[in-house]
Structure 1
């Protein structure tokens, strides 16, 4: 399986992160998800899922920052379009990102905490890890699920996964 994201000069375009224009933000949070291409999905896949996390956040904030969790994308999809997280253009169930945490502001608006939360590197450029999973089931998770629940749910069901490091500027 292969995944790709359009880049500008090797980096995530500004409109999907910290430097997004105001119309692409919700209360200061970058809210428009980037488009994503998926190729060579196993024929036996029943769904696709993704995680988008920032391990470079650990020395800055004390934990890996979760920017996007989503599951139950149709297995025959080859493009997840821009702003799919907010638009609902592609059916999926989305989990909680780190903005819900009391350590990160304790936001409660589902448009912020249960959708894509774009990169916002506070100190220097960060490398974000996008992982797309081809699964042999649809996951029985509810909107707002947590990464730990997702990890348990996919155990024994990953047919294949693809990982891509995506850099976003500070």
Structure 2
């Protein structure tokens, strides 16, 4: 399985991250998710799940920062379109991101769930996008936590693909 996302000079385009403006923001947070092309998912894929995690956040926050987790994306999906997190154009359930955790405690579901774009505070960070091909759909509801996704996927992963996406500070 292979993944690709559009980049500008090797970086995530501004509308998907820290330098988003206007309608691409909600409460000062970038909310327009970037498009993801998925190639060669294995036969038998019933659904897809994804995670977007900033491991470069560890020196800043003390832990990897979760920017997006989603599940139950139709297994035959080859393009997760731009702004899919907000638009509802593609069926999926979406989990909480790190804004929902104890450090930020965001209560606005538009900030605490679904995609929230990169906002590296100190330097360019690499954001790890992982897509999982699964042999089933998962018993998860909107607002799940990443650990619940990991437990639900156990024994159901047919393939994974990861891609590091750089976003500028």
Q: TM-score normalized by structure 2?
A: 0.98
Runs of 4+ that moved beyond 6 A: none
> Following TM superposition, by how much is the alpha carbon of 1:19 offset from its aligned partner in structure 2, in angstroms?
0.5
Aligned-partner Cα distance in 2 for 1:34–1:95: 17
**Residues 16-55 of structure 1 mapped to structure 2, 5 A cutoff:** 16-55=16-55
TM-score, normalization by structure 1: 0.98
Q: Distance in 1 between the 2:46 and 2:81 partners?
A: 20
What's the CA shift for 1:102?
Answer: 2.7
The C-alpha deviation readout for 1:58-106, integer Å capped at 9, x for no partner, is 00011110000000000111100000000000000000000112312x1
CA distance in 1, matches of 2:129, 2:165: 7
Partner of 1:57: 57
Which residue in the other structure is 2:168 paired with?
169
The residue that corresponds to 1:128 in the other structure is 127
Aligned CA-pair RMSD:
0.6
SS at match of 1:108: coil
CA–CA separation in structure 2 for the residues paired with 1:53 and 1:35? 16
Aligned residues: 169
Return the alpha-carbon distance in structure 2 between the equivalents of residues 146 and 59 of structure 1: 22
Report the equivalent of 1:4.
4
Please give the alpha-carbon distance, in whole angstroms, between the structure 2 residues aligned to 1:49 and 1:147.
11
5+ long unaligned stretches in structure 1 = none
> Cα offset for 1:113?
1.1
| 1:113 and 2:109 correspond | no
| Cα drift, residue 22 of structure 1 | 2.5
Q: Aligned residue for 2:77? A: 77
Per the alignment, residue 152 of structure 1 pairs with: 151
Q: How far apart are the structure 2 equivalents of 1:101 and 1:155?
A: 23
Q: More deviation in 28-37 or 106-115?
A: 106-115
